[in-house]
Amino acid sequence: MRRHGRTPRGVLRALAVLTAVLVTMVTWPQTAGAHGSVINPASRNYGCWERWGNDHLNPRMQQEDPMCWQAFQDNPNAMWNWNGLYRDNVGGNHQAAVPDGQLCSGGLTEGGRYRSLDTPGPWKMTNVSTNFTVHLYDQARHGADYFLVYVTRQGYDATTQPLRWSDLELVKTTGRYAPAENITFDVSAPGRSGRHVVFTIWQASHMDQAYYICSDVNFV
């Protein structure tokens, strides 16, 4: 005889698991709402979040977007927190704070959360000309003391070589920007063709907080 008024233990367990999964799925995107990053040309982790954030369990990612797949496998919070890749109290001494091979993770900042971004490989690229525009989305409206924009030298191979300071050429130094949600400025990187990395340092104005941002581009 079937009993009424009592939920089977198996159903309760299933509901508990489902609730935990749903809470996790809701919480992750919310953690990515506090700061900012370069969204065009897309930073590595912003690009992964934009393409796969709503479909990150899709097995097609492994074949279609292998660098995002390895990043999601390593730590999905690096994508959900695409705008939290920063270091505090660097004092402008960026090369001392961020060692060679760790530029895209900000020197393994946030306990190494972003370490997968340092992995060489065929990251998805944004097509740009040698004169292009950088677009920073600054949701928290921190403003900027300055931006430093570097581009890799011709001959650097981002698919096989970890990024080093010596691979970069400084092509843009800006002045201050008032707090705004969207900041854009033009950059010129003559003499480039094909795959490159744009490395942007954003020195926020609200405190000594520096953001380190790798964007993969294809100069066409």
Per-residue pLDDT, 34: 60
Burial (0-12, 13-18, 19+ Cβ within 10 Å), 176:
exposed
Angle between helices 66-74 and 44-52 (to 10 degrees): 90
Tens digits of per-residue pLDDT, 20-74? 333 333 333 433 446 899 999 999 999 999 999 989 899 999 999 999 999 999 9
CATH architecture of 9-219: Distorted Sandwich (2.70)
Give strand ranges (E) for the chain.
36-40, 86-88, 126-128, 131-138, 144-152, 168-173, 182-188, 194-204, 209-219
Per-residue pLDDT, 3: 40
Tens digits of per-residue pLDDT, 115-134? 999 999 999 999 999 999 99
Q: Are strands 182-188 and 144-152 parallel, antiparallel or unpaired?
A: unpaired
C-alpha to C-alpha distance for 214 and 220, rounded to whole angstroms:
19
Question: What is the average pLDDT across 87-103?
Answer: 97
C-alpha to C-alpha distance for 190 and 63, rounded to whole angstroms:
33
- N-to-C CA span, the chain: 73
Instruction: Enter the tokens of residue 137.
Output: 């989305």
Is residue 5 predicted with pLDDT exceeding 90? Answer: no
Per-residue pLDDT, 186: 98
The pTM assigned to this predicted structure is 0.84
- Mean pLDDT over each residue of the chain, to the nearest integer: 88
Task: Domain ranges for the chain, please list them.
Answer: 9-219
